[in-house]
Chains A and B, each alone.
Chain A
Amino acid sequence: ETGVTQSPTHLIKTRGQQVTLRCSSQSGHNTVSWYQQALGQGPQFIFQYYREEENGRGNFPPRFSGLQFPNYSSELNVNALELDDSALYLCASSNSGNQETQYFGPGTRLLVL
């Protein structure tokens, strides 16, 4: 078990709604990255937060947004949900973006109907 936690574990929403997913990073880690994993695919990078600032972004539209708080926990917000947003959302924390120290949380499974 890593020290990264995510909530909720599962979520069902309808198309057009908004959702907020939460992540608490491992103690000592100041960087949080969010990934989307569709069924049968590898995780795809959404964005990264370092010291409360967005520090890199993948190929996702602006309706995917995030926050990082002073305690390094983070939120992922998705507006105007689409059916294709159904996926496992993974949060990973690391020390200053060092991939060797990156640990994934258990994920939030989102289903959009």
Chain B
Amino acid sequence: QKEVEQNSGPLSVPEGAIASLNCTYSDRGSQSFFWYRQYSGKSPELIMFIYSNGDKEDGRFTAQLNKASQYVSLLIRDSQPSDSATYLCAADTGRRALTFGSGTRLQVQP
């Protein structure tokens, strides 16, 4: 079992819709969670991070964490074609590094 799992997609949503990206993790010792966006051929860029159970909002993005269910999600409101990218979920398991999932490819259709 991978430590951080994501559906590879592609997840296709129409422009203006809400995109919902999901991630599960296996290490209950994980303390914090990160969402990165990666455009094709580029390096990952940090969108947001979350430590506490519940929701955290930043602009059009909302991260949700449920430690009991070992589940993290990212909602993107009013999705734009420029949001089309691969979204990487990562967990900080305290081993001085992030453990990444394989990413979910999001396609926003104009």
Interface residues of A (CB under 8 A from B): 2, 33, 40-45, 48, 55-56, 58, 88, 90, 97, 99-100, 102-107
Q: List 18 A-B contacts (CB under 8 A).
A: A33-B96, A40-B102, A41-B103, A42-B4, A42-B88, A42-B101, A42-B102, A42-B103, A45-B97, A48-B96, A99-B34, A99-B49, A99-B98, A102-B46, A102-B98, A104-B44, A105-B43, A107-B43
| Chain B minimum-CB-distance residue to A55 | B96
In the complex, the number of residue pairs spanning A and B with C-beta atoms less than 8 Å apart equals 51
Interface size grouping (class) on chain B: 20 to 34
Contacting residues, chain A, for B108 (C-beta < 8 A): none
Given A42-B103, A106-B43, the answer on whether A99 and B92 have CB atoms closer than 8 Å is yes
Q: Tell me the smallest distance from the CB of A106 to a CB of chain B, in Å.
A: 5
Q: Could you tell me which residues of chain B, from 26 to 62, have a CB within 8 Å of some CB in chain A?
A: 32, 34, 42-46, 49
A104–B37 Cα gap in the complex (Å)?
11
Closest residue to B43 on the A side, CB-wise?
Answer: A104
Complex alpha-carbon distance, A103 and B42, angstroms: 13
